[in-house]
Amino acid sequence: MPPPLFEIDTLQVAVEDKQIVNGLSLTLRPGEVHAIMGPNGSGKSTLANSLMGHPRYRITGGDILLQGESVVDMPPDERARAGLFLAFQYPTDIPGVSMINFLRRAMSARRGEEIPVREFRQVLNEVLGRLQMDEQFVRRYVNDGFSGGEKKRAEILQLGLLQPLVAVMDETDSGLDIDALRIVSEGINTFHSDENAILLITHYQRILRYVQPDHVHVLIDGQIVESGDASLAERLERDGYEPFMERTKEGVLSS
Amino acid sequence: MTQATLDADSAERPDVEVKPDDLRAQVTALSRSNREPDWLLAFRLASLEQALSMEWWTGQEESWRRTPRERLPRRARVGQVRGPADGSANGTAAIAPSHVFTPDAHSGLVQQYDGRLVASDLEEQAATDGVIIMPLSTAAREHPTLIQEWLGAVGPPQDRYDAYGRALWTQGVFVYAPRGVVVNESLFYLVTQDATAGDHWHYTLVVAERESQLSLIDGGDADDRRVELDETPLLHASVELIAEDGSNLRFASVQRWHRQTAAISTTRARVGRDASVHVTTAAFGADLDKQRIDMDFSQSGGYGEIRGLFVGDGKQHIEHVTRQHHQGVGATSDLLIRGVLTDESQAVQYGLIRIEPEGQQTNAHQTMRNLLLDDGAGADPIPMLEIEADDVKCSHAAAVGPVDPDQLFYLQARGIPPRVAERMVVRGFLSEIADGVPDEHMRDVIDELVEIQLEPARASV
What pLDDT is stored for residue B457 in this prediction? 43
Domain that holds residue A143: 6-254
Region of A25 (left: φ > 0; alpha: ψ -120 to 50; beta: rest) is beta
Say yes or no to pLDDT of B327 above 90.
yes
Of the residues B369, B404, B411, the best mutation for testing chain A's interface (the one with the most A CB atoms within 10 Å of its CB) is B411
- pLDDT band at residue B456, thresholds of 50, 70 and 90? low
CB B208 within 8 A of CB B244: yes
- pTM listed for this prediction: 0.86
How large is the greatest C-alpha to C-alpha distance in chain A, in angstroms? 60
Cβ–Cβ contacts within 10 Å for residue B78, how many?
A: 27
Q: Which of A58, A60, A35, A37 is nearest to A46 (CA)?
A: A58
Cβ–Cβ contacts within 10 Å for residue B99, how many?
A: 7
Which residue stretches of chain A are H helix? 44-52, 76-82, 99-111, 117-130, 148-162, 178-191, 230-239, 242-254
Mean pLDDT for B62-91 is 75
Of the residues B406, B412, B414, B433, the best mutation for testing chain A's interface (the one with the most A CB atoms within 10 Å of its CB) is B414
What pLDDT is stored for residue B2 in this prediction? 39
What pLDDT is stored for residue B117 in this prediction? 86
Chain B positions contacting chain A at CB under 8 Å are: 404-407, 409-418, 420-421, 424-425, 427-432
**The total number of residues written for chain A in this structure:** 255
* CA B3-B236-B176 angle, 5° bins: 100
- pLDDT band at residue B198, thresholds of 50, 70 and 90? confident
What pLDDT is stored for residue A197 in this prediction? 98
What pLDDT is stored for residue B309 in this prediction? 96
CB A184 within 8 A of CB A192: no
Mean pLDDT for B88-102 is 46
What pLDDT is stored for residue B87 in this prediction? 47
B416 → chain A, closest CA residue: A77
> H or E stretch including A209?
none
Which residue stretches of B227-311 are H helix? none
* Residue A190 three-state SS: helix
Q: Give how far B413 is from chain A: nearest CA, Å.
A: 5
Mean pLDDT for B414-418 is 96
Q: Which of B206, B274, B287 is nearest to B246 (CA)?
A: B274
User: Could you say which of B415, B418, B431 has the minimum Cβ distance to residue A96?
Assistant: B431
Say how many CA atoms lie within 13 Å of B325 toward its Cβ. Answer: 14
Q: Give how far B309 is from chain A: nearest CA, Å.
A: 14
CATH number of the domain that A142 lies in? 3.40.50.300
Q: Of all residues in chain A, what percent carry a pLDDT higher than 90?
A: 81
Mean pLDDT for A13-24 is 94
Q: Is the dihedral of CA A232, A237, A242, A248 positive or negative?
A: positive
Q: Which of A31, A57, A50, A49 is nearest to A194 (CA)?
A: A31
Burial class (CB in 10 A: 0-12, 13-18, 19+), B25: middle
What pLDDT is stored for residue B101 in this prediction? 66
How large is the greatest C-alpha to C-alpha distance in chain B, in angstroms? 68
User: Could you say which of A56, A81, A88 has the minimum Cβ distance to residue B410?
Assistant: A88
Say yes or no to pLDDT of A252 above 60.
no
What pLDDT is stored for residue A116 in this prediction? 95
Chain A positions contacting chain B at CB under 8 Å are: 52-56, 75-77, 79-81, 85-86, 88, 91-92, 94-97, 101-102, 105-106, 109-110, 141-142, 158, 162
ipTM reported for the complex, 2 dp: 0.95
Are B425 and A97 within 8 A, CB to CB? yes
Are A94 and B410 within 8 A, CB to CB? yes
CB B275 within 8 A of CB B246: yes
* CA B425-B304-B393 angle, 5° bins: 90
What pLDDT is stored for residue B12 in this prediction? 46
Are B428 and A106 within 8 A, CB to CB? no
* CA B133-B134-B138 angle, 5° bins: 145
Mean pLDDT for A12-21 is 94
User: Could you say which of A75, A95, A97 has the minimum Cβ distance to residue B412?
Assistant: A75
With beta carbons under 8 A apart, name residues in chain B contacting A56. Answer: 405
User: Could you say which of B406, B415, B427 has the minimum Cβ distance to residue A81?
Assistant: B415
With beta carbons under 8 A apart, name residues in chain A contacting B443. Answer: none
Are A86 and B425 within 8 A, CB to CB? no
What pLDDT is stored for residue B3 in this prediction? 41
Per the domain annotation, does A174 fall within a domain? yes
Say yes or no to pLDDT of B403 above 90.
yes
Mean pLDDT for B113-120 is 85
* DSSP-derived secondary structure for B377-446: -EEEEEEEEEE--SS-EEEEEEEEE---HHHHHHHHTTT--HHHHHHHHHHHHHHHHHTTSS-HHHHHHH
Burial class (CB in 10 A: 0-12, 13-18, 19+), A106: buried
Of the residues B412, B420, B435, the best mutation for testing chain A's interface (the one with the most A CB atoms within 10 Å of its CB) is B412
Are A106 and B431 within 8 A, CB to CB? no
CB B18 within 8 A of CB B26: yes
Of the residues A45, A54, A92, A165, the best mutation for testing chain B's interface (the one with the most B CB atoms within 10 Å of its CB) is A92
Say yes or no to pLDDT of B373 above 50.
yes
What pLDDT is stored for residue B458 in this prediction? 40
Rounded to whole angstroms, the Cα distance separating B105 from B107 reads 7
What pLDDT is stored for residue B82 in this prediction? 64
Rounded to whole angstroms, the Cα distance separating A101 from B416 reads 12
With beta carbons under 8 A apart, name residues in chain A contacting B447. Answer: none
What pLDDT is stored for residue B432 in this prediction? 84
With beta carbons under 8 A apart, name residues in chain B contacting A158. Answer: 414
Q: Which long-range contacts (CB under 8 A, 24 or more apart) does B225-230 make?
A: B225/B195, B225/B256, B225/B258, B225/B259, B225/B285, B226/B460, B227/B195, B227/B196, B227/B258, B228/B260, B229/B195, B229/B196, B229/B258, B229/B260, B230/B11
Q: Which residues pair with B213 in a beta bridge?
A: B182, B248
- pLDDT band at residue B13, thresholds of 50, 70 and 90? low
A105-149 pLDDT per residue, tens: 999 999 999 999 999 999 999 999 988 899 899 999 999 999 999
- pLDDT band at residue B353, thresholds of 50, 70 and 90? very high
Which has the higher per-residue pLDDT, B434 or B288? B288
Ranges A127-136, B90-99, B135-144, B226-235: which has the least confidence: B90-99
Q: Of all residues in chain B, what percent carry a pLDDT higher than 70?
A: 90
Which has the higher per-residue pLDDT, A87 or A240? A87
* Interface size, chain A vs chain B, as Cβ–Cβ contacts under 8 Å: 80
Give me chain B's average pLDDT, please.
89
What pLDDT is stored for residue B98 in this prediction? 52
Rounded to whole angstroms, the Cα distance separating A202 from A187 reads 17
Burial class (CB in 10 A: 0-12, 13-18, 19+), B1: exposed
Query: What does the domain layout of chain B look like in residue ranges?
Result: 20-403
A87 → chain B, closest CA residue: B413
* Residue B455 three-state SS: coil
B42-52 pLDDT per residue, tens: 999 999 999 99
Q: Which residues pair with A66 in a beta bridge?
A: A6, A69
Q: Strands B276-283, B332-341: parallel, antiparallel or unpaired by DSSP? A: unpaired
A184-217 pLDDT per residue, tens: 999 999 999 999 999 999 988 889 999 999 999 9
DSSP code for B180? T
* Residue B52 three-state SS: helix
Rounded to whole angstroms, the Cα distance separating A225 from A247 reads 8
User: Could you say which of A77, A95, A162 has the minimum Cβ distance to residue B418?
Assistant: A77
- pLDDT band at residue A22, thresholds of 50, 70 and 90? very high
User: Could you say which of A54, A94, A106 has the minimum Cβ distance to residue B425?
Assistant: A94
Which has the higher per-residue pLDDT, A222 or B225? A222
DSSP code for A176? -
Are A77 and B424 within 8 A, CB to CB? no
What pLDDT is stored for residue B195 in this prediction? 77
Q: Give how far A244 is from chain B: nearest CA, Å.
A: 33
DSSP code for B452? H
